[in-house]
Amino acid sequence: MNFLAIPPSPTTIFSSPHKLLSSGEKSSCLRLGRAEEYRRVTMRGGSENRKPLQKGRNLSIEAIQAVQSLKRVKNDLQQLDRVYDSKISRLLKFDMMAVLRELLRQNECLLALKVFEDVRNEHWYKPQVSLYADIITVLASNGLFEQVQIIHSYLKVETDLAPEIDGFNALLRALVSYNLGELAMESYYLMKKVGCEPDKTSFRIVIKGLESTVEAVDLRIVKQDAQKIYGDLLEFLEEEDEAAIATSMR
């Protein structure tokens, strides 16, 4: 399996050119090469952002061992290739997804991205907007904005996306929170394309969030859509402010 070590700053992880996928393709955009193909990158301190493993029914013994093994050798690219091949490739669907989510929880971004690459190539893989939202949230919170762009490009070419309103709202919230207005607008149009009608939460996130961002975004269509469904735009946007004030006074 292929992988590149985690850089110490939010710069690109790609040492070779990448291309965006055409519709229906699932081939890898994240070119995480084998150890011998890339220069060595200095890793962050081993104790930095380290979190305890989440134990219980969400992680089997095999999943826990896989996470521990990957973290233990992440500074040694040669060993990382071997450990990844031996620990990840043989995992079942439940364990593979558990490893992915645990790596995300521990901010092991590039380890998680590598696992996600393999997840997308599994026969059982079905795209979920909520998973994309989780990945993008973690990447953005760690300053890996180029990786956010590429993961978002994966989402845009996925087929058979479910109209997952909570997942789309989580995605919109993450993108708006990190001032990624263009991607937020693309996500808004994507949710409509897959038959997921925006709700009040969707409109509030996009309109109120992007009106205050420094990135120039045309919100006219979003506001028109909101008015067609809910009527007075200002009235329903103010509902959230009133609810928030009421909650804070309790």
Q: Quick one: average pLDDT of 121-146? A: 95
pTM equals: 0.73
Task: Please tell me which residue, 238 or 145, carries the higher pLDDT value.
Answer: 145
161 pLDDT more than 80: yes
Examine the fold and report which residue of 103, 123, 143 is the final residue of a domain before the chain moves on: 123
Q: Tell whether 218 is covered by a domain.
A: yes
Examine the fold and report which residue of 98, 123, 148 is the final residue of a domain before the chain moves on: 123
The reply to whether 104 and 212 lie within a common domain is no
The reply to whether 177 and 143 lie within a common domain is yes
**Chain centroid offset of residue 225 CA:** 27
Q: pLDDT value at position 196?
A: 95
73 pLDDT more than 80: yes
Examine the fold and report which residue of 93, 123, 153 is the final residue of a domain before the chain moves on: 123
240 pLDDT more than 80: no
Residue 198 binned pLDDT confidence (cut-offs 50, 70, 90): very high
Residue 165 binned pLDDT confidence (cut-offs 50, 70, 90): very high
Q: Quick one: average pLDDT of 48-69? A: 66
The reply to whether 197 and 169 lie within a common domain is yes
Q: Which pair of tokens denotes residue 37? A: 């193909």
Amino acid at 102: E
235 pLDDT more than 90: no
Question: Is-contact 88 115, C-beta < 8 A?
Answer: yes
The reply to whether 153 and 101 lie within a common domain is no
Task: Please tell me which residue, 26 or 115, carries the higher pLDDT value.
Answer: 115
Give the total number of structural domains in the chain. 2
Angle, helices 200-211 vs 233-248, to 10°: value is 90
**Chain centroid offset of residue 242 CA:** 31
Q: pLDDT value at position 81?
A: 80
The reply to whether 99 and 155 lie within a common domain is no
Q: pLDDT value at position 27?
A: 43
Q: Domain containing 82: what range? A: 58-123
Q: Tell whether 37 is covered by a domain.
A: no
Q: Quick one: average pLDDT of 165-172? A: 97
